[in-house]
Structure 1
Amino acid sequence: MSELTDIEKAAILLISLGESDAAEVLKHLGPKEVQKIGEAMTQLDNVPQSRVESVVTDFLGVVSDQTGIGINNDRYIKAMLNQALGEEKAKTLIDRILMTTNTSGLDTLRWMDPRQVAELLRYEHPQIQAVVVAYLDPDQAASVLSFFDDKVRTDMVMRIAALDRIQPQALQELNDMLETQFSGTRTSQTTTLGGVRHTADIMNYLDSTIEAELMDAIKDSDEGLAQEIQDLMFVFDNLLDVDDMSIQVILREISTDILVVALKGADTSLQEKIFKNMSKRAAELLRDDLEAKGPVRVSEVEAAQKEILSVARRLADEGEIVLGGGGEDMI
């Protein structure tokens, strides 16, 4: 059996724990982490008992070397477990997590499918729509926006960009309204939402066609705002401005298959930057893969590039790397 990835090891460990204990662990992870682990669970097949024991032993060794495990529990998991684990098992885990966590009405939205969030907001006041979308993580917010028509989407994005701080009482009222539907128990203390930078983050996750149309609409209404947003957007070509050490950190978390597709649409100078930050052997193999790769649809290239950018932004948020600013439309 080939060497296991960290995600596969986590999946094996959680399966070994059982549903109840796994739920206690999962409630402390972020949405994307749980999605990856859930997908890995579905792909595991006939794992030898010796391999399971090895994973558990390695985990215990890591824990014994630490005085505590640092866990970021300020965000909660979306309901993507339905796809990863199946509806029944996912529901069991989610119910356990929600019952044991003080989750507010607004936080509960992070568990929901973007289409469900969009339907929930469809007939709300535009300002309420903007506040709720601004509260979501950028990738989920972008997905929610995709379910609205152009006019509503443009209005919502401009309202998000204009947000800065929201009165705690107003946020409390919105939270209470949602809690009547979700039966949450904790109130959110967040008073800073939206703004131009958050808007740029959301735009980064939009489909390229929607992004271009939306940017044109914003330019027609407020050219200065459109320029501010564009200046803050980080796109694939901007990786040229990232230092070599950060590029190496990013590459450690990207599969070769994704990298090959992403680089099919990249400028030669960016390709060379990637090559020089790999071992000579790895760079040669990547060059061979690129040459052997046939034609790739633009949509596939964009999807691969956005996946890499998502990893880069996560690493930047975690303080592992530093990203430059400014950018132009993605190829």
Structure 2
Amino acid sequence: MSDQNTKPKASIDSMPAIEKAAILLMSLGEDNAAEVLRHMGPKEVQKIGLSMAKLQNVQKDQVEAVMSDFMQVISNQTALGVGADGYIRKMLVNALGEDKAGTLVDRILTGGNTTGLDTLRWMDARSVSDMIRFEHPQIQAIVIAYLDPDQAAEALKYFDERVRLDIVMRIASLESVQPHAMKELNDILEKQFAKQTGSASTDLGGSKCAADIMNFLDTNVESALMEAIKEVDEDLAQEIQDLMFVFDNLADVDDRGIQALLREVSSESLILALKGADEIVKEKIFGNMSKRAAELLRDDLEAKGP
């Protein structure tokens, strides 16, 4: 009996931590696993997703041993890894949304090889900007548009103002990129980044993409860039501006969304943002804080002055 009880524990002693985490998430169910993944960064999600995809013949005693480390009880659980593809796809879509989960699922389920343009999404912004600095402006625009908005905004900081304007204008004018063009671009990004692009054209760029990127730029950079776009194309500038999320838009965000934001933003950033905010937005923020926290925030705002 003693041997039987110690065997499951012994069978996971040499198991990598990432594999234990994968077993745990596979055991939680799609919704709970998705909730956990929401608190992870993209690279963490990729690693653990790949580990989940590789799980095979995980026995019930191993699952119980892993769960016991988290002080939980698992029952009626059989081998994992059977038909895991559908589970992983649903879980990642729940966690990340359809758009972000799409390419990630494909990488995980085809062996986790990150190639081509997708590789750039896992690089730091400075490296991306250095890689495309001397490429044709249209190539620069396609690459920047392909990045997540926050990474794209960070990469734009490493270009001078004239080049930034050109890139954002080109992004706003993009609609889709044909497969042959994407293939040529992958070749330009060196052989190790080459990838199979498929036959469908790739939706890329547009005013919304430009607006999303500009949302992540520093205020002074964003303002200067917006003014420059207005000088070239006033209608396009207005379209981009209409699509941008400004702080006063928070008045339309539900309480759950406000509370999620407050968990992520620092006190200093919140104070800075609220100094010029509409009174409706301020009250919305105060109403989603504890009475004590709201009082402290009001005091800090008064102390900082207008």
Following superposition, the deviation at residue 250 of structure 1 comes to: 3.6
The equivalent position to 1:187 in structure 2, one of 185, 197, 207, is: 197
* Other-structure match for 1:291: 298
1:152 counterpart letter in structure 2: V
Following superposition, the deviation at residue 58 of structure 1 comes to: 5.0
Deviation string, structure 1 residues 157-191 (Cα, Å, up to 9, x no partner): 00000001211111122123325143x54436551
CA contact (8 A) 1:110 1:136 kept: yes
Q: Which runs of 4+ in 1 moved over 4 A?
A: 19-25, 28-32, 35-38, 52-55, 57-61, 294-298
Query: TM-score scaled to structure 1, two decimals?
Result: 0.60
* Other-structure match for 1:201: 212
CA distance in 2: counterparts of 1:142 and 1:115, whole angstroms: 11
Residue aligned with 2:226, SS:
helix
Change (3 A) 1:58 1:159: farther
Give unmatched runs, 5+ long, in structure 1. 1-15, 39-51, 78-96, 299-330
CA distance in 2: counterparts of 1:135 and 1:207, whole angstroms: 20
Q: Do structure 1's residue 56 and structure 2's residue 56 form an aligned pair?
A: no
Change (3 A) 1:60 1:239: farther
Change (3 A) 1:220 1:99: same
CA distance in 1: counterparts of 2:302 and 2:133, whole angstroms: 40
Following superposition, the deviation at residue 22 of structure 1 comes to: 6.0
Deviation string, structure 1 residues 210-263 (Cα, Å, up to 9, x no partner): 101101111111111111111111111111133xxx232341453286367415
Residue aligned with 1:147, SS:
coil
CA distance in 2: counterparts of 1:129 and 1:76, whole angstroms: 23
Higher RCO by CA contacts (8 Å cutoff, separation 6 or greater): 1
* Other-structure match for 1:327: none
Residue aligned with 2:203, SS:
coil
Aligned alpha-carbon RMSD (Å): 4.1
Give unmatched runs, 5+ long, in structure 2. 1-14, 26-33, 46-65, 79-85, 94-100
Change (3 A) 1:23 1:289: same
Alignment of 1:217-232 (within 5 A): 217-232=228-243
Following superposition, the deviation at residue 288 of structure 1 comes to: 1.9
Bigger Rg, structure 1 or 2: 2
* Other-structure match for 1:8: none
Q: How many residues align structurally?
A: 240
Residue aligned with 1:139, SS:
helix
Identity %: 45
The equivalent position to 1:249 in structure 2, one of 254, 257, 260, is: 257
2:41 counterpart letter in structure 1: V
* Other-structure match for 1:272: 283
Query: TM-score scaled to structure 2, two decimals?
Result: 0.65
Deviation string, structure 1 residues 8-64 (Cα, Å, up to 9, x no partner): xxxxxxxx9525666998xx99898326979xxxxxxxxxxxxx9677345968x99
CA contact (8 A) 1:30 1:75 kept: no
CA contact (8 A) 2:141 2:167 kept: yes
Alignment of 1:88-99 (within 5 A): none
